[in-house]
A and B are shown apart, each in its own frame.
Chain A
């Protein structure tokens, strides 16, 4: 059946009669790929321009509507040999890239000004100890002012705006002391220049802005990089649904383009694209991604099914219901609201430092001014010294100390297969002392695997596996993974809901339910062992192949390593006790609970929090989403349900559990480095502040101290790049 594809969700109209679309492209790895794709598309009739962004792995295509369309373009890319997935650009994406550009402009202006002002300042410092006349010095100071004032007004905007917003909301952030410091330093310098004084601090103020902007930019660049990657991944994994139109015609639409009331067809082996009610058909569905339950649930017309579950046997026609209309989703949403509100506003290291910092510094400056006044210095001198204190303590190093480490650590995590949703997750990961695991899809692999301990002859298994290639049944899919020959048998016929049969070597082979293979059910399907069975017969031989949820290959080692790190481990599963017990046993986790509802998972986590534990929740199911939101910090595998991914602080890729261990290890190291960096910044202040209070700080000393401490802190942060030693 020729099925039309509806891609209107992704296509944006550009000029008259032309359209634009962005695609995430898989498999682009070299210059040749760029050329093949761009040349191939530009040759197509109707394509105006195709440009591949190699950094982002995204392709932007413009075309004329009357000559070609989106589906043809995607098909053309397929024939070139690449998979392209339409990409719905998000607003946050555009906002962030505009902000990155703006920060880069500020950084460029500050950099230009810092270099030129420094050129003039060095001349003044040299002149002060040789033969510079007062007129020349004044000229140089005025020139500095000419460069520094407009530059600071432009490049300081990110700080001034943020400080203003914070003050309006009646609290203090790091940008408040920064803005005060910069403004005072510039004001004082102008006054000093006007009164022909020896010292001006234009260079300090502008250099401060430059260093701080570097920190800001790094921070944003890190967030953009992970968001970009996550965005591509989301569009590559995006699911399509088969929508039944009024005329009974099937149209393939992205799952995101479904509306309540639409009718969709879900074939055997397909994932349910949206919550809905079954209108027609009967089947079994695998809800392990929704509830954690691994036993299939039989469903008939009238039953409610949830997005993310898998239709196991028969084809179903489903009417899409509004999100939140079903009881489970409603409960999850309600719990989520509560959990997100209750999530204690954890105070970040940087904020804590800022809260301490601002009052301490401002009091010190005020006391210094008062002290000098009492000691008999003039009003002018006292104020100059007090402002010098403000300049020297400006939180250059502190503002770099944390973002620099975060950027480097996020890079290390990224290489280990962990994608962060935000920079703050690193600190919270490092604080975790208890890890709560979900079982299904988290400790175990997201899809069931053949139980290899059953001791089935490899030859027969291979035959069965090759036959399984012709079936869409989830159990057959698991079996087909083992097939070495990847071509299905010619003439294999699938009987929906029963099995497949084909003629192999002149004899009929059957794979499917015991009944389908002509074997009495009871004899070959031992119940209660937590496995599902698929039967294979060929040439008189019959085997029953057990297929079960298996642990991730490195789960035991990772769990051991986590325990050695002193973390408490707990399993909270929505699955039944008989399925959870063997897993807990094998991993050696004594503390486990089964058959938990979403509310009970939350309650358990709240209880742990009340005992003073910091909980890291690792889970993938829709039923885990509230618990993920309630926990101190959370990680999900990339196979998790959409809503769950949205509430996790980090996602991990691949079949291994190791990324969880590495996330913990790298974060703990990063947090140590952050603290170290803050300590370095404090030590710097311990030396510099007394000098400033004593009135000994000249602009030269300020410049050296400031750049020296920033450099030191940045170099220290690079150590987060070194791989932490992780016991395997």
Chain B
């Protein structure tokens, strides 16, 4: 049973990490706009336009 000496603290640390991560995400406003987050991933304007163009050409060729 000596294995508990480090397994139990390890389990607790894992749980605590999850809790701290959640509290951090709450504090940094990640839950303020849930619907917005869902649709904001759709536009591609963060990718350089030539990148999209070349990818479009590639996908058209595949068709």
C-alpha gap A71/B43 in the complex (Å): 29
Q: Give min CB distance, A231 to chain B, whole Å.
A: 16
Question: What's the minimum C-beta distance from A61 to chain B, rounded to whole angstroms?
Answer: 15
Q: Which of A53, A108, A112 contacts B33 (CB 8 A)?
A: A53
Chain B minimum-CB-distance residue to A140: B8
Point out the residue from A108, A139, A143 that lies within 8 Å of B22, measured CB to CB: A108
A31–B35 Cα distance when bound, in Å, is: 10
Select which of B23, B32, B34, B40 is within 8 A of A105 by beta carbon: B23
Determine which of A54, A105, A143 lies in contact with B26 in the assembled complex, contact meaning CB atoms within 8 Å: A105
A705→B9 CA distance, assembly (Å):
30
B interface list, Cβ under 8 A from A: 1, 4, 8, 11-12, 15-16, 18-19, 22-23, 26, 31-36, 39-40, 42-43, 45
Contacts A55-B36, A119-B11 known; 7 new A-B pairs at CB < 8 A: A31-B39, A31-B40, A55-B33, A101-B26, A115-B15, A143-B8, A147-B12
User: In the complex, which residue of chain A has the Cβ closest to the Cβ of B5?
Assistant: A139
Q: Is the CB of B34 within 8 A of A55?
A: yes
Q: In this assembly, does A162 line the interface, its C-beta being within 8 Å of a C-beta of chain B?
A: no
Q: How far is the CA of A109 from the CA of B4 in the complex (A)?
A: 24
Shortest CB–CB separation between residue A97 and chain B, in angstroms?
A: 9
Please tell me if the beta carbons of B11 and A54 are within 8 angstroms of each other in the complex: no
Asked if A31 and B42 sit within 8 Å, CB to CB, the answer is yes
Interface assignment of A74: CB less than 8 Å from any CB of chain B: no
Contacts of A147 in B (CB 8 A): 12
DSSP class of B's interface residues: helix, strand, loop or mixed?
helix
Q: Chain A contact residues: over half helix, strand or loop, or mixed?
A: helix
Given contacts A108-B23, A116-B11, A116-B12, contact A52 B18 (CB under 8 A): no
CB distance from B11 to the nearest CB of A (A): 7
A104 interface contact, C-beta 8 A: yes
Q: Is the CB of A54 within 8 A of B19?
A: no
Contact B33 A54, beta carbon cutoff 8 Å: yes
In the bound complex, do residue B39 and residue A30 qualify as a contact, i.e. CB atoms below 8 Å apart? yes
Cα-based distance from A147 to B11 in the complex (angstroms): 12
Of the candidates B18, B39, B45, the one whose C-beta lies within 8 Å of that of A54 is B39
- By a CB distance below 8 angstroms, the chain B residues around A133 are 1
Q: Name the 4 nearest CB pairs between A and B, nearest first.
A: A54-B36, A31-B39, A31-B42, A112-B19
A147 and B8 CA atoms in complex are apart in Å by 12
Q: Given A53-B36, A115-B15: A104 and B43 within 8 A (CB)?
A: no
Identify 8 residue pairs between A and B in the complex whose beta-carbon atoms are under 8 Å apart, listed by A's number: A30-B39, A53-B36, A55-B34, A105-B26, A108-B19, A109-B19, A112-B16, A133-B1
> Could you say which of A32, A54, A136 contacts B43, with CB atoms under 8 Å apart?
A32
Query: How many Å lie between the Cα of A101 and that of B30 in the bound state?
Result: 12
Chain B residues near A35 (CB, 8 Å)? Answer: 43, 45
Tell me the complex Cα distance, A314–B42, Å: 52
